[in-house]
Structure 1
Amino acid sequence: MPRDAYQRQLERLRADVLEMSDRVCERLERALTALETQDETLAAAVITGDHGINERYLEIEQRCIKLLALQQPVASDLRFVAASFKIITDLERIADLAVNLAEYAKRASRRRYADIDIGYIGERIVELVETAMAAYAADDAERTRDIAAEDDEIDRLCENASEFVVRDLLETELEAEIGLTPDALFDEVSRMLLTIRDLERVGDHAVNIAARTLYMVESDDELIY
């Protein structure tokens, strides 16, 4: 294949990965909105839309495989294709976590833990994914190193939120005025802890994306773990 045509295929791959990331971030934002507003219709749309994300993932995966098998890229091109393949895997898993959040939105009450600002944590995490993808788009190695530090702050926010829930559970006396049976309280606690856990996992996937980008650009495995 002529070099120009090959280069266009690489450019198309990058564009496709970025388009997939836009769709995933949109899904994540909608799931967070559903969680905050308890909008069951919006939550259902996020859940049913996951099929389209999975299909897009498989399409891009096949493109990566063909480039590796037929073009046998070397050096930086090989790292780029391999990184793109890894990144779409992280994006697909973020989309799955968005589905989890939408599922919680269909059942959870935000009254008991209104003091936990899930919206703020979610906003920070969406920004982290978008920053990681911007670094991939621009081959920006320097920005990837900042993402790991930002994720540490998100981990701190999630840890504080989890501690709040556990402390509340330990301090709660199941009296009549609380209006919750032990099973109902357990359900509320479980859903909130799962929500926090899944948000933290999205941040971890953003760091993975940054790590693959850094390796793609500089062949530096500093952030890969």
Structure 2
Amino acid sequence: MGCCSSRSSDSPATRVTRWRSTGIVALRDAKLKVVPHEVLQVGNSLRTLDLTNNKIVEVPQEVGTIVNMQRLVLAVGSLSNLQQLTVSQNSLLCLPKSVGDLCNMLLLNVSDNKLNALPESIGGCKSLEELQANGNTIEDVPSSICNLACLKSVSLNGNKIRQLPPNLLKDCKALQNLSLHSNPISMDQFQQMDGFGEFEARRRKKFDKQIDSNVMMGSTALDEGIDLC
């Protein structure tokens, strides 16, 4: 397979060359605490990065610049201390189920990928305050998002969302910002959701001004002014 860095005789340059040729970086069970610098040197040749079962506590921002990456595997329990994960502007097709183990994560940014769904396990991200998933092809939002009591801001612009979990506004009592520009969801659907009045009150309080009870969701759907953002 030639994609692991377990060979003691490997130099960093040799590993980078091999990884570029395969497009795969597999660093399972390597007892890593940080992502090796040579991984980032693979650049746009990198399609799969597997960091399963390590001790990594932080994913470098530079990972988000690897525009051709299709698969990022972070099935590592030690990431429970991770507070921010940004993997925007890549070509990710899905998120691993293990994302739900990130119990201390405050920000998740998966915008501008090729996601058609968010994992149901996202409901395990109990500390999550901000979710950014703009510019994907997401059709449905998992019902488990209603478990996120700390969630304050959700941005889902430019997806294919026709409906939201019915209890989203009711159960996410900290939610203040919701942006759904350029989605096919209707204004009536949104306003008829349980908890809409309470959500609108929180939003008005946040911005400290009188705002009509409408949501700016773009010209293809809610274009009357709900900028729930």
Asked if Structure 1 and Structure 2 have the same fold, meaning a TM-score greater than 0.5 normalized by the shorter chain, the answer is no
Bigger RCO (CA 8 Å, 6+ sep): 1
Report the TM-score when normalising by structure 1. Answer: 0.21
Name the one with the larger helix percent: 1
Name the one with the larger strand percent: 2
Report the TM-score when normalising by structure 2. Answer: 0.21
